[in-house]
Amino acid sequence: MADHSHIEWTDATWNPITGCSVVSPGCANCYAMTLAGTRLKHHPSRAGLTQASKAGPVWTGEVRFNEAWLDQPLRWRRPRMVFVCAHGDLFHESVPDAWIDKVFAVMALAQHHTFQVLTKRAKRMRQYLSTWPMNDMPDRITTLACDIAYKNGRGWQGNCGVATRPLPNLWLGVSAERQQEADARIPDLLATPASVRFVSLEPLLGPIDLTNIEAKAGVGVDVFSGLEFDGDPADDVEFGTATLDWVIVGGESGTAARPMHPDWARSLRDQCTTAGVPFFFKQHGEWIGVPDLKQLPGGSGPGFGACDWSPYDQEHEAVRVGKARAGRLLDGREWSQMPCSPPPCGEGLGVGPGRRR
């Protein structure tokens, strides 16, 4: 785990569970998988979780509970945003409910932090949280929380029985790379009890229309308004009261990174600004659109001639300049909006409690 994360939208990562398996094209160049099979290959939290292949390390599907790291957030006194299971998936099919319960017990105890859970297993997340009693935590998690608080050797001062469903300090999100993954995962996110719901569209591998998510055959949902429609405006109905609170977009990084067309990011930015939903542009990734070279230091000068080039389509090209150089400006501007939680903090575009900027 790491305090002071390099991930732009969080402060720290917490990895009580490590290990995973590939589920969709967005996983192909998984950073956590590569790390687990190279630099951390012999670390007890990663050993044996990957196997070698011609394309590099691949997850075996085994997952691991890192008990020694469970109470780490209780020892962080300063409030911060904490990305949970950044090197795995909390709702992976091999993770037993008992482990998830322990993670939730710690999140319920450490209410001075804001936890960010991101999954590609949206159905399991929905099933897990939907079994909780309305407006309350299951007794088993309250008991666990009190047990963990008691065992925490540093004189934990909090109240172990006060958390409710949904946890006020927990943001739930799904990641998706193309329209089909967004269609498959976002409806389950919207049906999951949560204080804040978000999506991470990274690595973005295709255009995504969040105003027309196919929740079921022939039925689209605007995830910003909750409006459900089937093409006939007279039939539009409310899908539910839940809507998205935050959208993160980013291109891919790493040696095998695939280019993200900047127009896909622009479209998502425009969808968010129209809806008044916070938009966070994390990075272009390794590649940048040729017309956007002019916003980089050195512009479109001769230094770019030796780089790799890739066509997005017949009319547009991208050039590989590296993640650091491509940066995170979109049309000359940084987009670092965050959800407002807890309110009030402006017009829905505020910073979370742990942010320093």
Chain residues binding ligand SF4 by CB under 6 A are 20, 22-23, 27, 30, 32-33, 59, 88-89, 120
Q: Is-contact 16 103, C-beta < 8 A?
A: yes
How far is 120 from 185, CA to CA, in rounded Å?
7
Of residues 20 and 330, the one with the C-beta less far from ligand SF4: 20
Least Å distance between CB 177 and ligand SF4? Answer: 9
Tokens of 191: 């049906």
Least Å distance between CB 63 and ligand SF4? Answer: 10
* Closest of 346, 290, 344, 342 to residue 321, by C-alpha: 290
Least Å distance between CB 37 and ligand SF4? Answer: 12
Amino acid at 196: V
Least Å distance between CB 169 and ligand SF4? Answer: 23
How far is 329 from 314, CA to CA, in rounded Å?
25
Least Å distance between CB 92 and ligand SF4? Answer: 7
64-65 and 50-51 beta bridge pairing? unpaired
Of residues 177 and 245, the one with the C-beta less far from ligand SF4: 177
Of residues 22 and 349, the one with the C-beta less far from ligand SF4: 22
DSSP notation for 161-201: T---SSPTTEEEEEE-SSHHHHHHHHHHHHTS--SEEEEEE
Of residues 22 and 307, the one with the C-beta less far from ligand SF4: 22
Tokens of 24: 């969709």
The Cα-based distances of 310 to 257, 283, 320 in angstroms read: 12, 18, 8
Q: Is-contact 117 154, C-beta < 8 A?
A: no
Of residues 30 and 163, the one with the C-beta less far from ligand SF4: 30
Phi, psi of 140 (to 5 degrees): -65, -35
Least Å distance between CB 178 and ligand SF4? Answer: 14
Of residues 2 and 22, the one with the C-beta less far from ligand SF4: 22
Of residues 118 and 319, the one with the C-beta less far from ligand SF4: 118
Least Å distance between CB 352 and ligand SF4? Answer: 22
Q: How far is CA 97 from the centre of its chain?
A: 21
Least Å distance between CB 16 and ligand SF4? Answer: 14
Decide: helix, strand or coil at residue 81.
strand
Q: Is-contact 36 15, C-beta < 8 A?
A: no
Of residues 16 and 88, the one with the C-beta less far from ligand SF4: 88
